[in-house]
């Protein structure tokens, strides 16, 4: 099964290596370079069965609809991926993956969060994940809540169990549905995980 991981190195920890392709990026890597590289690697193997993206998710305490601040931070403002990030302003760049990726798993904090007041704004995480699914034709797996992980320089990143609800977005259901057992989606830390 052909797979690829993108690890934004601002997410501290060792990069998992049990993938067909491993890509490390940082704040200097352009998002277009990232999306083009994924498309090129997928075409080399005809298709990627899995694309795992390991990065921070953008969280803020903004209520964009009410033009005010909330007492606590919420996600939904996109992914800290490369220089520009990936969000509702540039998700269309992932259109180069159309038909080339079956499954995208976002290992990040709260990419599928839509706080009250942010529905229909650029802070609408469920909308972002749904658009990503529509644009790529892939199933997109993403969490609503902040995710916690164990970082080590000696062992690959370990996200363990998911925190909070996890959703699956598809081109047939871009609004997302709750996944009952999200723990089947995990980082490939061992050869058994990658099987």
Would you state the pLDDT for residue 138?
A: 98
Looking at every residue in the chain, the average pLDDT score rounds to 94
Would you state the pLDDT for residue 28?
A: 98
Encode pLDDT of 35-44 as tens digits: 999 999 999 9
Range of the domain at 69: 3-194
DSSP for 77-140, written as a single string: S-EE-TTT-BSTTTGGGGGGGTTTEEEEEEESSSTT---TT-TTSTT-HHHHHHHHHHHH-SEE
Would you state the pLDDT for residue 113?
A: 97
Kindly state the tokens that stand for 165: 């609800």
Encode pLDDT of 127-137 as tens digits: 999 999 999 99
In total, how many domains does the chain have? 1
Would you state the pLDDT for residue 132?
A: 98
How many angstroms separate the CA atoms of 145 and 172, rounded? 24
Kindly state the tokens that stand for 149: 């992980």
CB burial readout 184-193, b (16+ within 10 A) else e: ebbbbbeeee
Residue 94 CB burial class (10 angstroms; 0-12, 13-18, ≥19): buried
The pLDDT of residue 169 is above 90: yes
The pLDDT of residue 153 is above 90: no
Encode pLDDT of 51-107 as tens digits: 999 999 998 887 777 777 777 888 999 999 999 999 999 999 999 999 999 999 999
DSSP for 15-71, written as a single string: PP--SSEEEEE-TTS-HHHHHHHHHHHHHHTS-EEEEEEE-EEP-EEEETTTTEEEE
């Amino acid at each position: 099964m052909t797979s690829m991981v993108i690890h934004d190195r601002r997410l501290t920890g060792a990069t998992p290596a049990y993938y067909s392709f491993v890509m490390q990026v940082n704040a200097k890597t352009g998002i277009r370079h990232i999306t083009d590289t994924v498309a090129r690697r997928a075409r080399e193997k005809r298709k990627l069965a899995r694309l795992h993206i390991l990065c921070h998710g953008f969280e803020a305490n903004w209520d964009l609809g009410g033009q005010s601040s909330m007492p606590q931070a919420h996600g939904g403002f996109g992914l800290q991926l490369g220089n520009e990030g990936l969000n509702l302003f540039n998700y269309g760049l992932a259109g180069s993956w159309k038909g080339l990726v079956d499954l995208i798993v976002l290992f990040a904090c709260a990419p599928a969060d839509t706080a009250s007041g942010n529905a229909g704004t650029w802070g609408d995480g469920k909308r972002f994940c749904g658009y990503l699914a529509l644009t790529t034709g892939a199933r997109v797996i993403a969490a609503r809540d902040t995710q916690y992980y164990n970082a080590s320089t000696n062992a690959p990143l370990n996200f363990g169990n998911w925190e909070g609800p996890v959703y699956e977005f598809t081109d047939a259901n871009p609004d997302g549905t709750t996944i009952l057992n999200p723990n089947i989606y995990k980082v490939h830390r061992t050869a058994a995980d990658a099987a």
